[in-house]
Amino acid sequence: MYALLASTSGAAMAQTSSPANPSTSPAASPAANTPAVATTPAQDSTQAAADPTTLDQVQVTGVRASIQSSIDKKRDDTVISDVLSAQDIGDLPAPSLADAIETLTGAASTRDKTGASEISIRGLGAFLSSTNFNGREITNGSGDRSVNFNMFPAELINTVAIYKTQRADLIEGGVAGTIGLETVKPLDYGKRAVQLDAKGTWAEYDNKFRDKDGIGWRGTGSYIDQFEFANGGKLGVSLGIQALDGSDPEESMTSGSTWYACDGTQVNYTGNCSEVDGNQVAAGAPYYLAPSSRIYRLKQERNDRQSEFASVQWRPNDVVELNVDYEHTDRNWHENRSDLSLSNTRRSINDRVVDENGVLQSFSGSTSIDSTSTKYDRNEEYTGGGVNLILRPSAAWEISTDLSYSHTLRQDTQRITRLRANRNGIDGVTPGISSGTTGYVNYDWVNDGDIPGITLDPAFDPNNADAYTGAAQVSSRETDNEHTIRAGRFDVSYMPEDGFLTKIKAGLRAAEADYTYFDNTVTTAISSTTAAGRAQIIAANQACRTAFPQSDFLEDGGSGNTISSWAYFDPSCLYETLTGSSDLNIDTNLVDPSNVDVTEKTKSLYLMGEFRSELFGIPYSGNAGVRWVKTDVRSAGARTDLVITDNGDGTIQLDSTGNYQTSVFKAGNDKLLPSINAAFELHPDLLLRVAAYRAMSRPDIAALGAGRTITVTNGESYANLADALDGITAAGNPAAEPLMSWNGDVSLEWYPNADTILAGALYWKQFNGGTQTALVNEAYNINGQSVIVPVRQEVTTDEKSTLTGFELSASHRFSYLPKPFDGLGFKVSYNYADANYETQDPRLGEQLDTATGLVTPAIVAPAGLSGYSRHVLSGSLYWDIGKFSMQAIGKFRSHYYQDFTGNAAQQNRYYGDNTAVDFRASYRFDKHLSMSLELMNLTNEARVAYQPEYGNFREYVTYGRRAYLGVRYRF
């Protein structure tokens, strides 16, 4: 499948502004569109001398062929870039596009059980990159501007490129870079092709379950053809379809998302710890960091996906070309989740050992214990496409217009049931639980090992299902993320016959992006203090208890874990028994303050010139231009009246009265983005590139929302009103400005032969500020009285910050070794970045009081840029031996901060260093039939997270190894 979709020399994006091929005009010579090094006679003779049998290059297959294609595309580009052909994606372990992209220099991903996901470029987070599909913006279901690459089949993509510098005709949005995805253009492909590709998939951790379900499958088919008509017209069609089904098991220990700076002077206390603020800590007050809860979590998952891609390319004559493309993906995800929760983990924390950063090393505590069962379903559907019309009235003129549509709808439904352990069990007193309405279990904590050790009171058995008779809770939840982009652009190009300028290009673009997030949650509490409530809880408990699905939870790969099982209740049974139905029972008219409704309109104009000349006998080429962008934002948010609810145990929580008012906020900005790129041919095989440009990255579209996150609606209890109000946080800021940067790049690239490249680049970026939390006073009606609440809102400071870095890449085949070792080769890349950008923690970082201008000092250190890793390294060793090819791939990424998508209220989260090792092998029986084997995460690398400060444990997630066995047949 991959080779069938391999890029050809004439391939171009449906959008004529693709940097890889800026003009599709038959009259435009290659020299007008690529650096001089690609076409000079001196180079041709040098290349011929280095590799005299040119037919060998045409017949090259396997990993070597894909690396050669990448080298050629990087050399021919008009910006600093790295490129993957379809063979690159096909010949790397690539269950998603991101797995392949992260092998490129400076690219890194957030890896999870399904492989790579979001991509960071040059130590900058995914939100600082932009991704275009056939030259157009695309939507996703996360509320950010990154792309869920798991939605796109790697087998149906023709070319992937990372453009690390900017041009005026590129859609704005990539401070770090722009990722371009292209589907095949059938006329440019030039031949009929039919291919079937089938893969079996295996997830190691499914073998740990009693009901093993680890075998999945993936099937892909494609058809490409061309037709010529008597009048000279040509028509090309491309069709592709893929379906898959697989499992995604996962085990983890995680923590609640709210962290507290607790008063370190409290000793021998019960109840929730008292908090300290930044002023107290600055004055020397001791503190320690504690989360709202600790959770052991077991996930059993299945997912399925179906994708259809189609394109039509029509050239009725030499003047007109019409391109139409359509993409659709429907992905479903089904999960049974079981949690053992220590749900009050800032309660009674005594006998503490704390380090200098407030990180608890050991302590004893007391907490309530819950068994929570969740039935989680997700459907995410993407639909996109467009119409591109190109007119070439003469060799000098090209006119292009493009209309596009992109839409993603993600719907999540959760059926959540909670049973709480209680002293008054089914058959009498439960050992190890204190008396009282809630009931608490004593425990000890030791931060020693990969996973902190928690030892519950030996008298209490978490596997004793009879103990879970306390307060029950049932939640029905549906969340909808809907993102739509409608866009149109018009471009005109003029190509002079001679002179310094080889092309003059101008254009305009208009787009409207609509994003909505709706959260419908209905929670019902069932009291165990009434006879009817207790009888209902006991009946559900006895009807739905079942054996724990596995016997070795968190015992594979991690050290320190002390809890391997707990009382397990079937999620579907428990929900249906407690509610009397499997229906969600959601009020579709329910309004939630956290809901987001954003419309973002953008307009842009650009003017760019491409040039070619010589300087002191050195040929050079490039482009220079300017882009103007205007953005207007409209954001609507709900505000609610609140009422205090007494929990009956000395704590309170806040609930909505159901009275809502809608507030509308408007904001806007306009920016000017100049850019220049130049490539100097120092020698026929040596290129020097320089670039300078201004770039912008808009905030996540969800972060422009006017919603408010009231964390107490999730059922948390608080000791007093002030404590509860501290949980009201702005989920976004409609007036948030885009992050702007001035950028400079220098790259030196050496191409001694078709199999070798040695390249290095230096880059510099200066940003317009950092990220800080501001306290904005808002009035809330609580129990009928107006109360002023200081609401946390994320803002951009005006303090400048910089990022400097360098990247190195090399690729080489040892063709001079004796057979069969002449098929050995390697590819390696390294990126280093250093930045002083600061992102303050929303709760425990610096707090700016907008009313007084006073700044409360930070308790925890600020994070850097989201997605920023100081070191990113990837390398592969390949061996092509005739029909057999194999490749080992290693990837390393140093620790980094990653924000929570679209929600500025969440506290700073860090991921630790991550190393992944993958392997791929393939064998071609003949020109029709081949087989492949892919092995992922061979070292069983876990994902470890910290919060709100690096080094303070938050989460340990492990998901095992994966294998893919495939067969491909070409007709």
**pLDDT of 611:** 96
Asked whether residue 273 carries a pLDDT value surpassing 70, the answer given is yes
Closest of 829, 825, 827 to residue 811, by C-alpha: 827
| Bridge partners, 242 (sequence order) | 220, 307
- DSSP of 151-202: GS-GGG--EEEEE-S--TTSPS--SSEEEEEE---HHHH-S-EEEEEEEEEE
pLDDT tens per residue, range 436-461: 667 899 999 999 889 999 999 999 99
Residues in the chain: 971
Q: Are strands 824-835 and 801-813 parallel, antiparallel or unpaired?
A: antiparallel
More confident residue, 249 or 119: 249
- Min mean pLDDT across 90-94, 479-483, 488-492, 746-750 is at 90-94
CA distance 638 to 519: 12
pLDDT tens per residue, range 644-696: 777 776 677 777 776 777 888 899 999 999 999 999 999 999 999 999 999 99
Q: Count CB-CB contacts under 10 A for residue 140.
A: 23
**pLDDT of 714:** 40
Average pLDDT of 411-417? 96
Show Cβ contacts of residue 445 under 8 Å, excluding neighbours closer than 6 positions. 360, 362, 363, 364, 365, 452, 453, 454
Q: What angle do CA 352, 355, 359 make, to 5 degrees?
A: 75
Q: What angle do CA 501, 502, 503 make, to 5 degrees?
A: 95
Give Cα 386 distance to the centre of its chain. Answer: 25
pLDDT tens per residue, range 482-494: 999 999 999 999 9
516-550: string of b/e by CB count within 10 Å (b at 16+)? bbbbbbeeeebebeeeeebebbbebbeebbeeebb
Average pLDDT of 404-412? 96
Task: Give percent of the chain above pLDDT 90.
Answer: 55
CA distance 484 to 406: 6
Distances (CA, A) of 454 to 343, 561, 912, 955: 14, 8, 22, 14
Alpha-helical regions (H) of 239-395: 278-282
What is the overall mean pLDDT for the chain?
Answer: 85
**pLDDT of 176:** 86
pLDDT tens per residue, range 304-354: 999 999 999 999 999 999 999 999 999 999 999 999 999 999 999 999 999
CA distance 872 to 108: 7
Q: Count CB-CB contacts under 10 A for residue 48.
A: 11
Closest of 549, 492, 515 to residue 207, by C-alpha: 549
**pLDDT of 120:** 78
CA distance 519 to 711: 13
CA distance 403 to 324: 10
**pLDDT of 659:** 74
pLDDT tens per residue, range 504-526: 999 999 999 999 999 888 889 99
pLDDT category, 716, cuts 50, 70, 90? low
CA distance 213 to 218: 15
**pLDDT of 113:** 58
948: preceding bond cis by omega (within 30 degrees): yes
Residues 677, 745 contacting (CB under 8 angstroms): no
**pLDDT of 905:** 60
Show Cβ contacts of residue 924 under 8 Å, excluding neighbours closer than 6 positions. 61, 883, 930
**pLDDT of 38:** 37
Residue with tokens 């070597």: 64
Q: What angle do CA 64, 66, 72 make, to 5 degrees?
A: 100
**pLDDT of 662:** 82
Residues 676, 693 contacting (CB under 8 angstroms): yes
CA distance 23 to 19: 9
CA distance 172 to 195: 37
**pLDDT of 851:** 76
CA distance 80 to 676: 12
- DSSP of 903-916: -TTSPP-EE--EEE
Closest of 711, 707, 721 to residue 783, by C-alpha: 721
Distances (CA, A) of 545 to 380, 425, 431: 32, 15, 20
- Min mean pLDDT across 405-419, 508-522, 765-779 is at 765-779
Q: Count CB-CB contacts under 10 A for residue 949.
A: 22
- Min mean pLDDT across 189-193, 476-480, 607-611, 770-774 is at 770-774
Distances (CA, A) of 934 to 90, 149, 507: 11, 19, 44
Distances (CA, A) of 174 to 126, 164, 171, 920: 10, 8, 8, 32
More confident residue, 95 or 694: 694
pLDDT tens per residue, range 551-604: 889 987 678 889 999 999 999 999 999 999 999 888 777 777 778 899 999 999
820: preceding bond cis by omega (within 30 degrees): yes
More confident residue, 624 or 160: 624
Burial class (CB in 10 A: 0-12, 13-18, 19+), 699: buried
Q: Count CB-CB contacts under 10 A for residue 776.
A: 17
Asked whether residue 711 carries a pLDDT value surpassing 60, the answer given is no
- Min mean pLDDT across 151-160, 364-373, 804-813 is at 151-160
**pLDDT of 60:** 57
CA distance 74 to 83: 6
8-32: string of b/e by CB count within 10 Å (b at 16+)? beebbbbbbbbbbbbbbbeebeeeb
More confident residue, 104 or 46: 104
Closest of 101, 255, 256, 92 to residue 163, by C-alpha: 101
pLDDT category, 710, cuts 50, 70, 90? low
Closest of 347, 343, 571 to residue 475, by C-alpha: 571
Q: Count CB-CB contacts under 10 A for residue 668.
A: 13
**pLDDT of 348:** 94
CA distance 194 to 225: 9
**pLDDT of 87:** 52
| Bridge partners, 240 (sequence order) | 222, 309
**pLDDT of 6:** 33
Residues 177, 123 contacting (CB under 8 angstroms): no
558: its two tokens: 């991690």
Average pLDDT of 206-223? 86
Backbone angles phi, psi at 713, to 5 degrees: -70, -10
